[in-house]
């Protein structure tokens, strides 16, 4: 049985302040929870409505009713499983391969999709400006589809990191060199900007090369979604 204090504690983890204080985050759904259980991320507690749904047993698993799950869930329609996991300590960034840098990316769906793209294209390291959306936001986690466990995500002073970089720093801009003409090196940093404003002036100042995705349609579309643009650029980087 989930007691009142547990309900309040788990619901509070929907907010960044409490996730940071407790170094815990919540993820929901059978597939996402199973992915994390098979990763190096440490489990705190798993709540299930059916003891057989994960095929596991242990002190960290608690069977609860569907009504109780609804009380602790952040979803309109809860999906049998809710897991509470420890937020891992980020590892030092490894610049021997490509790194994605996010400058003030605010949308949880975009953040989650970019994390998933990093996983797909084998990009192990992602650095985010401190004002980017929290990667342990429940909506971000839903969009990552479990990829959160396979990407090292670091928040920090993006300008400082880029200014000291020993590898090439590329940025996505509307007026950059067409990406298809670029010859990419073995390693580098790709900077993606804010959904509405693009890369900030402070970050633009420390970018070595501007690249762009050419538009073939009519000029009615302002720009590509940042996650879509990341997919196209990563594809070109890996293809090259």
Report CA-CA distances (Å) from 188 to 113, 132, 205.
Answer: 21, 21, 17
Q: Round to the nearest angstrom and report the end-to-end CA distance of the chain.
A: 55
The arithmetic mean of pLDDT across residues 152-157, rounded, is 97
What would the pLDDT profile of 1-20 be if each residue is shown by its tens digit? 677 889 999 999 999 999 99
What would the pLDDT profile of 188-231 be if each residue is shown by its tens digit? 999 999 999 999 999 999 999 999 999 888 776 677 899 999 99
**Prediction pTM value:** 0.93
Residue 58 in this model has a pLDDT that exceeds 80 = yes
pLDDT at 216: 87
pLDDT at 225: 94
Residue 120 in this model has a pLDDT that exceeds 70 = yes
Query: Across all residues in the chain, what is the average pLDDT?
Result: 94
Q: What is the DSSP string of 53-87?
A: SSS--STTEEE--HHHHHHH-SSSS--SEEEEEEP
Strands 99-102 and 61-63: unpaired
Residue 108 in this model has a pLDDT that exceeds 90 = yes
Q: Where are the beta strands (DSSP E) in the chain?
A: 24-28, 43-48, 61-63, 81-86, 99-102, 125-129, 152-156, 169-178, 189-192, 209-212
- Enumerate domains of the chain plus CATH numbers: 4-86 (3.30.1330.30), 99-239 (3.40.1280.10)
Report CA-CA distances (Å) from 230 to 98, 116, 123, 170.
Answer: 13, 11, 12, 12
What Rg value do the Cα atoms of the chain yield, rounded? Answer: 20
Residue 59 in this model has a pLDDT that exceeds 90 = no
Which position has the token pair 């204080």? 21
């Amino acid at each position: 049985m989930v007691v009142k204090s547990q309900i309040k504690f788990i619901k509070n983890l929907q907010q960044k302040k409490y996730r940071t204080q407790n170094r815990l985050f919540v993820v929901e759904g059978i597939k996402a929870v199973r992915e994390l259980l098979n990763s190096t991320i440490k489990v705190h507690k798993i709540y299930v409505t059916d003891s057989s749904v994960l095929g596991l047993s242990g002190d960290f698993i608690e069977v609860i009713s569907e009504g109780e799950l609804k009380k602790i869930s952040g979803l309109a329609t809860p999906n049998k499983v809710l897991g509470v996991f420890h937020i891992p300590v980020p590892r030092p960034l490894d610049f021997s391969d490509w790194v994605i840098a996010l400058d003030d990316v605010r949308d949880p769906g975009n953040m989650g999709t970019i994390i998933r793209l990093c996983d797909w294209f084998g990009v192990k390291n992602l650095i985010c400006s401190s004002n980017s959306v929290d990667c342990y936001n429940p909506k971000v986690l839903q969009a990552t589809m479990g990829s959160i466990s396979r990407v090292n995500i670091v928040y920090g002073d993006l300008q400082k990191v880029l200014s000291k970089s020993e590898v090439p720093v590329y940025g996505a801009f509307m007026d950059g060199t067409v990406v298809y003409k670029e010859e990419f090196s073995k390693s580098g940093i790709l900077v993606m900007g804010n959904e509405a404003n693009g890369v900030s002036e402070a970050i633009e100042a420390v970018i070595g090369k501007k690249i762009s995705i050419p538009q073939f349609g009519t000029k009615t579309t302002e720009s590509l979604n940042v996650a879509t643009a990341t997919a196209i650029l990563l594809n070109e980087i890996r293809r090259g």
